[in-house]
Amino acid sequence: MSETYYDLMRRQGISRRSFLKFCSLTAASLGLSEAGAQQIAQAMQTKPRTPVVWLHGLECTCCTESFIRSAHPLAKDVVLSMLSLDYDDTLMAAAGHQAEEALEQTIAKYKGNYILAVEGNPPLADDGIYCIPGGRPFVDKLRHVAKDAKAIVSWGSCASWGCVQAAKPNPTRATPVHKVITDKPIIKVPGCPPIAEVMTGVVTYILTFDRLPDLDAQGRPKMFYSQRIHDKCYRRPHFDAGQFVEHFDDAGARMGYCLYKVGCKGPVTYNACSALRWNDGLSFPIQSGHGCIGCSEDAFWDKGSFYDHLTTIRPPGGLGIEGTADRIGLGAVAVAGAAIAAHAAVSAIKQARSKTRNDKVSEAEK
């Protein structure tokens, strides 16, 4: 508990010069000033390392795959120098009983002081039997480890929202972490997977400043999720100009026009892809010619085709009628129109009849 990050880095043969470089790069990736770099350096030299326990529930490990590709800071720096990753069944050397033992030791030793990172989510149906790591339901393990955690990081859309395993009809009742653990601060880092630099950035921030970053109303760190893909998209001028890709093989696609009409969810997706990009800033989906599928938003998997901008709506009750808002609306207006025409016709007939009757009455009166 007494060893600091800096001690450990020096012990691993990292020079002070490299250490300071690392601090400034990390500060830059977090959007902090030069003073921020000094703060990070200060924190890492004085604060004891905070252990992190990384649990895997119902998931595909794409979050881990993304995490280990982080360039700023390098994942190896985070894992070996910053993070005291005491338990992660994918990345740790130990396995089986040894691994579970390490977990219990961490919980006992750092009670109320460790960060719990959750990748994936617990399925709740049938007492949680659809996800059994280490011989017991994941939901039990999650509750057990979360009880003594300081804070929880929900990695990816699985832990944050539920993701594909929670898609309708969600047979295993896969449930996001914040609906199972309600008494701990939870920070959501959605995305399928989240951007590597976002993941390491969030961890670095929590560890160095010893507090959670500013969160928006939906629990995501503002520094990475406050703006939409659309707001910083380099194809935005084509959107404003009305220049759209109509098909993936047309001239507009070759010209790099806006992908709005082929289903891009950039305008409704909060993430940092268009600013940070992927694979060391190389590219991101829109740059490679495919619309954003909105993977960091809640229920993106239940919104119909990735290639339609408007959501497919399925009326409740499984009637099998599908459509967009336009088809449903136009249908409703058409039905109303037909009803009106019928009503108007009957009204006209009634009116005409009563008129003839009135005329007859008045004639009789004469």
Residues that bind other proteins (CB under 8 A): 214, 216-218, 220, 222, 225-228, 231, 237-246, 251-252, 257, 260-261, 265, 267-270, 294, 297-300, 303, 309-311, 313, 325-326, 328-330, 332-333, 336-337, 340, 343-344, 346-347, 350-351, 354
Phi/psi of residue 182, nearest 5 degrees: -115, -5
DSSP 363: H
Q: Is 58 helix (H, G, I), strand (E, B) or coil?
A: strand
Residue 125 vs 241, nearer CB to other proteins: 241
Min separation Cβ 199 and other proteins, Å: 19
Q: Which residues pair with 174 in a beta bridge?
A: 123
Min separation Cβ 262 and other proteins, Å: 11
Min separation Cβ 341 and other proteins, Å: 9
Min separation Cβ 81 and other proteins, Å: 31
| Burial (Cβ within 10 Å: 0-12, 13-18, ≥19) of residue 143 | middle
Residue 141 vs 303, nearer CB to other proteins: 303
Residue 11 vs 211, nearer CB to other proteins: 211
Residue 96 vs 317, nearer CB to other proteins: 317
Residue 197 vs 297, nearer CB to other proteins: 297
Residue 67 vs 270, nearer CB to other proteins: 270
Min separation Cβ 245 and other proteins, Å: 7
Q: Which two tokens stand for residue 232?
A: 């910083």
Residue 120's contacts (CB-CB under 8 Å, 6 or more residues apart) are 55, 56, 57, 58, 59, 131, 138, 155, 156, 158, 159
Q: Is 84 helix (H, G, I), strand (E, B) or coil?
A: strand
Positive or negative, the CA dihedral 165, 167, 170, 174 is positive
Measuring CA to CA, which residue among 186, 120, 183, 182 is closest to residue 153? 186
Min separation Cβ 339 and other proteins, Å: 9
Min separation Cβ 243 and other proteins, Å: 5
Residue 55 vs 198, nearer CB to other proteins: 198
Residue 55 vs 233, nearer CB to other proteins: 233
Count of residues for the chain?
366
* Cα separation values, 130 from 121, 171, 214, 301, Å: 11, 10, 34, 20
Positive or negative, the CA dihedral 54, 58, 62, 65 is positive
Residue 318's contacts (CB-CB under 8 Å, 6 or more residues apart) are none
Min separation Cβ 363 and other proteins, Å: 20
Helix (H) or strand (E) holding 19: helix 16-29
